[in-house]
Amino acid sequence: MQVLADFPWENGQEWIDELRRQAVGHQILAEPDIVDHAGIEAAVVWRPSIDFFKPLTNLRALIVPGAGVDQLMQSGTSLPDVPIVRLADPVMATRMAEYVLAMVLDHHRQLGRYRDQQAGAIWKRHFHSDPQDIRVGILGMGVMGAAAARHLRAIGYAVTGWSRSTKVMPDIDVAAGEAALMPLIAASDILVCLLPLTDATRGILNAKTFDAMPEGALLINAARGAHLVVPDLVAALDRGKLSAAVLDVFEDEPLSPESPLWEHPNVTITPHIASLSNPVTGVRQIVRALDRIEAGERPDHIVDRHAGY
Ligand code: NAP
Ligand code: GLV
């Protein structure tokens, strides 16, 4: 099958090389070297340009080389009516779980405070509670959220999740549906957002959310920047309602050097690295999807266009 590969990332060539190595029997093509666009049957694409699909008149599937699909679904490009497949990579899920765990532990064990003390040669101990007394709420219990929940639970945190559909997980309560959201938020000393960005979740981290959270709570957003209303967060931090926020994702990336978030003493910023797509395991999933499409079978992890993820 002829496959158009478009990776607009620093390591895009690494992905193309890996795809050519693993996708035996498929022809991997990349712009500007494509002469026969009508021969392309599948496209691996992260964020298409407005005219990206126009010459691709014989597509059978789109494959997104990442977990989130909002950058494709909300790109303003008219999408062809073919299945859209995304990555659901356990390696990415473990990376995300490690990130969330690192940030929860950093906050819980007050490591920032000790880094500040070290700068002033201050020897002072501070009390910290046990993990079972810290309630972590996870918004989104899919591939990423469930992995984060299991890692946190394994070292004793009291974890509750929130999803659209009900789920049963050992030692982890999962609340489902809109009515369950505010009670979960009100009972989360640490709130972690791992939702997909859809019409239903855009702006979900807002003043109402922060008002409902316990005094001094921590927010971690590693999903998408547009889940968060930044001025509402800054106001909640400034009045001490939230003690801190960890932000890996921003509505405009890279985050502008002018953003007040950089300077905020209670904000930790990372440059969208919570869980980078992994070329080897990601390509393995892409090739599995290509093989199934070519064989006329239904690939795994098809996006529900109506739900938007
Ligand atoms: P996923 O497997 O599709 O899981 C999404 C979860 O969110 C599911 O549990 C889903 O509920 C729930 N959900 C969706 N809409 C909801 C709503 N309106 N109300 C309640 N729950 C809702 O996605 P994933 O692979 O875990 O990835 C999640 C997101 O993480 C991605 O979309 C992406 O934005 C972000 N991400 C960020 C990074 C990073 O490096 N920062 C890396 C990877 C992914 P159901 O289970 O009932 O469907
Ligand atoms: C990264 O943010 C992804 O969605 O894979």
Expressed in angstroms and rounded, the spacing between residue 76 Cα and the centre of ligand 2 is 19
Return the residue whose CA atom lies nearest to atom 43 of ligand 1.
67
CA atoms within a 13 Å half-sphere pointing along the CA-CB vector of 272: 14
Decide: 202 in ligand 1 pocket, CB within 6 A.
Answer: no
Cα 232 from Cα 248, distance rounded (Å): 17
Contacts 24+ apart (CB under 8 A), 292-299: 293/1, 293/41, 293/42, 293/60, 293/61, 293/83, 294/1, 294/25, 294/26, 294/41, 298/83, 299/61, 299/83, 299/85
User: CB of 217 within 8 A of CB of 239?
Assistant: no
Q: Which atom of ligand 2 lies nearest, measured to the CA of 272?
A: 2
Decide: 161 in ligand 1 pocket, CB within 6 A.
Answer: no
Decide: 229 in ligand 2 pocket, CB within 6 A.
Answer: no
Q: Which atom of ligand 2 lies nearest, measured to the CA of 224?
A: 2
Phi, psi of 84 (to 5 degrees): -110, 125
Integer angstrom CA distances of residue 133 from 139, 158, 245, 282: 19, 7, 20, 37
Each of the 309 residues of the chain gets a pLDDT tens digit; together they read 999 999 999 999 999 999 999 999 999 999 999 999 999 999 999 999 999 999 999 999 999 999 999 999 999 999 999 999 999 999 999 999 999 999 999 999 999 999 999 999 999 999 999 999 999 999 999 999 999 999 999 999 999 999 999 999 999 999 999 999 999 999 999 999 999 999 999 999 999 999 999 999 999 999 999 999 999 999 999 999 999 999 999 999 999 999 999 999 999 999 999 999 999 999 999 999 999 999 999 999 999 999 999
Single-letter code of the amino acid located at 87: L
Decide: 68 in ligand 1 pocket, CB within 6 A.
Answer: yes
Q: Which atom of ligand 1 lies nearest, measured to the CA of 68?
A: 32
Decide: 56 in ligand 1 pocket, CB within 6 A.
Answer: no
Radius of gyration of the chain (CA): 21
User: CB of 45 within 8 A of CB of 72?
Assistant: yes
CA atoms within a 13 Å half-sphere pointing along the CA-CB vector of 75: 19
List strands edge to edge, sheet with 84-85. Answer: 27-29, 2-6, 42-45, 61-63, 84-85
For residue 1, how far is the Cα from the chain centroid? Answer: 30
Expressed in angstroms and rounded, the spacing between residue 9 Cα and the centre of ligand 1 is 22
Catalytic residues: 224, 272
